[in-house]
Amino acid sequence: MTRKLLWGIIVVLFITNLTSLLVWVSTKEQSLTSSTNKLTPVVEATEEPVALVGEEKVHHGEWMATLQEQHGKDILMNMIDKQVVFNLANEYEIEISSKLIQRELALMETMLPVMEEKEIEEKRKQWEDDVRYRYYLEDLLTKDIGISEKEIKTFYEDHKDQYEFRTTYQLSHIVVPSEEVAMKIKEELDNGAKFSMLAREYTEDAFTKDKGGYLGYFSDESQYLPSLYYDQAESLSSGSVSEPFRTHQGYVLLQLHRTLPSITFTYEEIKEQIKREIALDYVSDSLSARPLWKEVGVDWIYGD
C-alpha cells in the first residue's frame, strides 16, 4: 500500500468519525450557500435531562452548547467542504471508476474486526460517500495540471502492482500439539461449539489466544502465514472451519470469516487515477477544499 493511499484511508476514516458527531444537525433540507438557513436539530430540545450522573443532571441545552463550542466550526466546515466538492464534481461531470472505489472500500474493510455482513455493509455505505469526496477533491485540485501520457505510462509500468488488491482472507485459527486434540476440537465444533471459545481454551498460539484465535486479514501473497493457510482458505466457504492440518507449529484448525476478492486494473482503467496522483505532487500537502469555496460562493456563519 502506498503512503498516499494509506493517508487517504486515514483521512476518510477521520472524516467519517467526525461526521458521526452530527447528532445536532439535519443536512437534508438546507443549502449551505445561504447564511439565512438555520440548523435544524435532529435531537429535539427537551426539558428532560439527556443524562444523569448520580443525582446531577446534564441538560439538552448544555449538551448542545458544548458540542457547538468544541466541534461546531470544524463540523460545519466539513459539511461545507463536502457540499462544495460534490456540487463542483457534478458541474464538471467528474466520474470516478466504481472499481477504484471498491478497491478502496476493500482496503478499509481489512481494518474491521469480525462483524456481521449487515454491519459491514452499513460501514461501506458510510465510507463510500467520503471516498468519493476525496477522489472528487483530488480531481478538482489537479484538473488544470497537465501530465503527459508518457509520464503516466512510465509511472504505471513502475508501480502497477500497487494498484492491485489481492484476494484477502479474514482468518482465525486454533493451534494444538497433536492430531488427536485437533480432532476432538473439530468434533466439538461440528456439535455447535463456538470457535472463539475453544480457541481460548485450547490454542497454543499465545498471540491469538486472548482474541479467540483471531488472526485478521491476510492477502494470498503475504508470507506472514504458512502457504498451507491460503490453500485451506481458498477451499473454505465463509464461516466454515477446515479439517485439521499439520504445520511446523502443530496441528491447525482454520476458520474463514470472509473472503475479499481480487481487484485488478488495466492501464486504461487506472490512468486517470495515476494522473491525479502525479499531479498532486504539484499541489499543497494539505488536501483542502477551502480554495474551491470562492468558485461556488460560500457565505457562512463564521464569515472568514
pLDDT digits over 64-99, tens only?
Answer: 888 777 788 888 888 899 999 999 999 999 999 999
Alpha-carbon span 82 to 136, nearest angstrom: 10
Same domain, residue pair 174 and 249: yes
What one-character-per-residue DSSP string does 246-287 give? EETTEEEEEEEEEEEPPB---HHHHHHHHHHHHHGGGS-SS-
Q: Are 241 and 289 found together in one domain? A: no
> What is the band of 27 on the pLDDT scale with cuts at 50, 70, 90?
very low
Of 197, 218, 219, 200, nearest in space to 208 by CA: 200
The DSSP call for residue 161 is G
The reply to whether 172 and 254 lie within a common domain is yes
CATH number at residue 220: 3.10.50.40
User: For 242-292, what is each residue's pLDDT tens digit?
Assistant: 999 999 999 999 999 999 999 999 999 999 999 999 999 988 767 899 999
Q: What is the pLDDT of residue 103?
A: 96
207 and 97, same domain (yes or no): no
pLDDT value at 35 more than 70: no
The rounded Cα 281 to chain-centroid distance in angstroms is 24
Contact by Cβ (8 Å): 253, 185: yes
Exposed/middle/buried for residue 209 (C-beta within 10 Å: 0-12, 13-18, 19+): middle
* Pair (96, 50) in one structural domain: yes
In a domain, 92, yes or no: yes
Between 204 and 1, the higher pLDDT residue: 204
Query: Do 106 and 8 belong to one domain?
Result: yes
Least confident of 48-52, 143-147, 153-157, 234-238: 48-52
In a shared domain, residues 251 and 291: no
**58 φ, ψ (degrees, to nearest 5):** -105, 115
Q: Look at residue 268 and tell me if it is in a domain.
A: no
Predicted pLDDT at 24? 39
Q: Cα dist. 257→95, 196, 214, 220, 248 in Å?
A: 33, 12, 10, 15, 23
> Does residue 79 fall inside a structural domain?
yes
Residues 127 and 182 in one domain: no
Output 208 or 221, whichever has higher pLDDT.
Answer: 208
Is residue 157 assigned to a domain? no
**Separation of alpha carbons 266 and 160, rounded Å:** 9
Confidence category of residue 55, pLDDT binned at 50, 70, 90: confident
Residues 32 and 113 in one domain: yes
User: 200 Cβ partners below 8 Å, 6+ apart?
Assistant: 209, 210, 212, 213
Mark whether 12 and 126 lie in a shared domain.
yes
Sheet holding 245-247, edge to edge: 214-219, 168-176, 250-260, 245-247
In a domain, 270, yes or no: no
147 in any annotated domain? no
Which has the closest alpha carbon to 5: 277, 290, 265?
Answer: 277
Looking at the structure, do residues 89 and 25 belong to the same domain, yes or no?
yes
* C-alpha–C-alpha distance, residues 222 and 226, integer Å: 9
| CA 216 from centroid of its chain's CA atoms | 15
The answer to whether the predicted template modeling score (pTM) of the entire model surpasses 0.75 is yes
Q: Which domain holds residue 246?
A: 168-260
DSSP 44: -
- The model's pLDDT over 140-188, given as tens digits with 9 standing for 90+, comes to 999 999 999 999 999 999 999 999 999 999 999 999 999 999 999 999 9
Q: Which residue has the higher pLDDT, 187 or 54?
A: 187
| 278 lies in some domain | no
Calpha distance 9→131 (Å, rounded): 8
Number of structural domains the chain divides into: 2
The answer to the question of residue 274 being in a domain is no
Clarify whether residues 124 and 239 are in a common domain: no
Residues 6+ apart with CB under 8 A from 230: 169, 218, 220
Instruction: Report the C-alpha gap between 256 and 239 in whole angstroms.
Output: 5
C-alpha cell at 190: 461440528
**pLDDT at residue 93, as a whole number:** 96
CA 144 to chain CA centroid, Å, is 29
* Gyration radius of the chain's alpha carbons: 25
